């Protein structure tokens, strides 16, 4: 069963353990958490799918969180 956009969370963070922890914690509450581990791949995921929430780290490889936000607000 596919999650509704409001139940889908994209976490853009290079800390793999933290992403897994958030996913494991929120799954029992009905949230589907997907992860991207750098700014560029996170930006692509946002452009190609609908998410209710995006958790965005500031310090990321390739493109930092501020740059990701800049691209999203254009």
Instruction: List the domain boundaries for the chain.
Output: 5-30+38-72
The region that residue 3 occupies, defined by phi over 0 for left and psi between -120 and 50 for alpha, beta otherwise, is beta
Q: Can you tell me whether residue 60 is helix, strand or coil?
A: coil
- Alpha-carbon span 45 to 39, nearest angstrom: 10
| Cα torsion 47, 5, 55, 15: sign | negative
Q: What is the pLDDT of residues 27-57, one digit of tens each?
A: 999 999 999 999 999 999 999 999 999 999 9
Homologous superfamily in CATH for domain 5-30+38-72:
Response regulator (3.40.50.2300)
Q: What pTM was estimated for this model as a whole?
A: 0.90
Tokens of 50: 């609908």
What pLDDT score does 5 carry? 81
Residue 59 has pLDDT above 90, yes or no: yes
């Amino acid at each position: 069963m596919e999650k509704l956009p409001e139940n889908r969370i994209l976490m853009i963070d290079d800390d793999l353990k933290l992403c897994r922890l958030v996913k494991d914690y929120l799954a029992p509450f009905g949230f589907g958490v997907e992860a991207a581990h750098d700014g560029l791949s996170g930006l692509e995921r946002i452009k190609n799918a609908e998410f209710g929430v995006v958790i965005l780290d500031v310090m990321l490889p390739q493109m930092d969180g501020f740059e990701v936000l800049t691209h999203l607000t254009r």
